[in-house]
Amino acid sequence: MADEKDAPSTAAEFGALGGKKRATNLSPEEMKEIAKKGAAARWGLPRASHEGELHIPGVVPLKVANLKDGRRVLMSRAFLEALGRPWKGTYKHTARPNFIDAKNLDPFIKGEILNFLEPIEYLSISGQKRTGYRAELLPLVCKVYIAARDAGALNPGQKSAAKFAEVLLNGFEQIGIISLVDDATGYTKVRARDELQAILAAYISAELLPWAKRFPDSFYEELHRVWGWNYTPGSNARNAYIGKLTKALIYDPLPPGVIEELETKNPYDPEKRRRKHLHHQLLTSDIGHPHLEKQIVSVTTLLRISSDKDEFIRHFSKAFPPARDDLFAPPPKEIEGSAA
């Protein structure tokens, strides 16, 4: 039995003893994660979810990160390095970032750039405190240097930075700084997955909705007229090619991923030669159906102003590019069946 003098005598000592015992039972990874959470709570800073290096020809790799709150940031030194200017190993907080703090740049720092000059302190994935700026600031900084150069306001030492700025800005106009950062950190796949899930949640209903007529007779009447087929008012009989056209003209132009999800949830039964439900029964009533109806109205309008199939193809291809090459191929032998 331990001596009384060795026993903890206060609540604080009991807590410390308990903490030490818990620590001995934790793995190094668990202890590291606890330390990270403690640092985040202590500083109250946003945290990076993805990190990487942005590689631009002729420029040293730039440190970039995605924050969990959705912001993309470049570490402060990356702005100097992107402009071909040396990093001196220190960073001093000033009223204006050190990469545009020269007095001769003052007349050109105005407008949108003023919304991005506030530094962002955040925690790296490893829990280290970092300082950076919104990635959107870099193209704006490039514009400042180019405007100052065109006005003859740069000193000799800044002219090389303007050359870097012009190269960078041309690249950003083609791709975009947000996409470049997301590619560098590996966030692109996460972004695409999250955006797709948001689209599907908005368009695809969790429950099968009751049947309601969504395609007016005028849509099928005009489709038959333009394709030169006989149309019987009130008849539900449709040839298989009508189903293919309905998918291509109405469902395919919906946001990416919607038709794929519909076909997964509502697969085609080759034995019955139809789907169990109509696709529109799986669309949401607040977003999916209004978009479907808008598409039907748009296509029906294009059909009405077209005298034949060739004219409609031109109208549709211009309104909803790019049209699939096989969309308007000669149809196979018509087969009676249900509509898509």
Q: Tell whether the model's pLDDT for residue 35 goes beyond 70.
A: no
Which of the four pLDDT bands, split at 50, 70 and 90, describes residue 6? very low
Region of 289 please: left (phi>0), alpha (psi -120 to 50) or beta: alpha
* Locus of tokens 């149809």: 331
Q: Tell whether the model's pLDDT for residue 8 goes beyond 70.
A: no
Encode pLDDT of 71-90 as tens digits.
Answer: 999 988 888 888 887 765 55
Question: Strands across the sheet with 62-67, in order?
Answer: 48-54, 62-67, 72-75, 129-134, 120-123
State the average pLDDT for the chain: 77
Encode pLDDT of 222-243 as tens digits.
Answer: 999 998 888 877 665 566 688 8
- In the prediction, which pLDDT does 80 show? 86
- In the prediction, which pLDDT does 237 show? 58
Listed range (37-41, 278-282, 307-311) with the worst mean pLDDT: 37-41
Which of the four pLDDT bands, split at 50, 70 and 90, describes residue 198? low
Burial 32-51 (b: 16+ CB within 10 A, else e): eeeebeebeeeeebbbbebb
- Please give the structure tokens belonging to residue 79: 């702005």
Encode pLDDT of 149-178 as tens digits.
Answer: 999 999 988 998 998 888 888 777 656 777
Higher-confidence position of 37 and 285: 285
For the chain, the domains span: 48-185, 217-337
Higher-confidence position of 194 and 301: 301
Higher-confidence position of 141 and 38: 141
Encode pLDDT of 92-117 as tens digits.
Answer: 556 678 888 889 999 999 999 999 99
Q: How far apart are CA 72 and CA 284, in angstroms?
A: 33
- In the prediction, which pLDDT does 12 show? 44
Encode pLDDT of 258-274 as tens digits.
Answer: 888 888 888 888 887 77
